[in-house]
Structure 1
Amino acid sequence: MLTKELWEELGPKWPRSYWDDWVRAPEQRSDRACIRPEISRTRTFGKKGVSNGLFYEKHLKQIYLNDAYTSFTKMNLTYLLKDHYDPVFEKQVQASQVVTINDVKGDRLAKGGFYRLIYHTKDNFKKLAKSLGLMDDFKAGVPRTGYKGTITFFYRGLRIFLSPGNNWKGYNPSWS
Structure 2
Amino acid sequence: MDAFKIYLGRIISKVAKGWDDWLRLKENHRGRQFIRPEVCRTYNFGEHGSSLGQFFKQYLEPIKLNDVQVDWKSMDLSYLLEDNYVKHFGDLVKKAKPIHGADAVLKAFNIDGDVRIQYRDQLDFENIARQFGIFEEWKDGVPRAAYKGIVVFRYQTSRRVFLVGHDSLQQLGIEDT
- Asked whether the equivalents of residues 97 and 115 of structure 2 are also in contact (C-alpha less than 8 Å), the reply is yes
- List gaps (5 residues or longer) in structure 1: 1-9, 171-176
Q: TM-score scaled to structure 2, two decimals?
A: 0.80
Quote the Cα distance in structure 1 between the aligned partners of 2:9 and 2:149: 26
Say if 1:121 and 1:34 are closer, same or farther in 2 by CA, change over 3 A.
same
Q: Which amino acid aligns with 1:78?
A: S
Judged with a 3 Å threshold, the aligned counterparts in structure 2 of structure 1 residues 127 and 66 are, in CA distance, closer, same or farther, namely same
Which amino acid counterpart does residue 11 of structure 2 have in structure 1?
Answer: K
In the other structure, the counterpart of 1:48 is 48
Q: How does 1:165-176 map to 2 (within 5 A)?
A: 165=166
Runs of 4 or more off by more than 3 Å in structure 1?
165-170
Q: Which structure dedicates a bigger proportion of its chain to helix?
A: 2
Aligned to 1:162: 163
Give the Cα separation in 1 of the matches to 2:127 and 2:154: 17
* Paired residues of 1:17 and 1:49 also in contact (CA < 8 A): no
Q: Quick check: 2:121–2:166 contact (8 Å CA) kept in 1?
A: no
1:13 aligned residue: 11
Secondary structure (helix, strand or coil) at the match of 2:116 reads strand
Asked whether the equivalents of residues 17 and 52 of structure 1 are also in contact (C-alpha less than 8 Å), the reply is no
1:87-166 mapped onto 2 (5 Å cutoff): 87-100=87-100, 102-105=103-106, 107-110=109-112, 113-157=113-157, 158-165=159-166
Do the aligned partners of residues 124 and 82 (structure 1) sit closer, same or farther apart at CA in structure 2, a change above 3 Å counting? same
What stretches of structure 2 of length at least 5 have no aligned partner? 1-7, 172-177
- Deviation, 1:37, is 1.0
The code of the aligned residue for 1:108 comes to N
1:71-103: CA deviations, max 9, x gaps? 222322111011100012112212211113525
In structure 2, do the counterparts of structure 1 residues 18 and 102 end up closer, same or farther at CA, with 3 Å as the change threshold? same
| In structure 2, C-alpha distance between the alignment counterparts of 1:59 and 1:167, rounded to whole Å | 25
| Alignment deviations for residues 111-130 of structure 1 (CA, whole Å, 9 cap, x no partner) | xx110011112211111011
Aligned residues: 160
Q: Offset at 1:19?
A: 1.8
RMSD across aligned C-alpha pairs, in angstroms?
A: 2.4
Deviation at 1:16, TM superposition (A): 2.1
Contact persistence 2:105–2:131 (CA under 8 A): no
Over 3 Å counting, the alpha-carbon distance change for 1:169 and 1:105 in structure 2 is: same
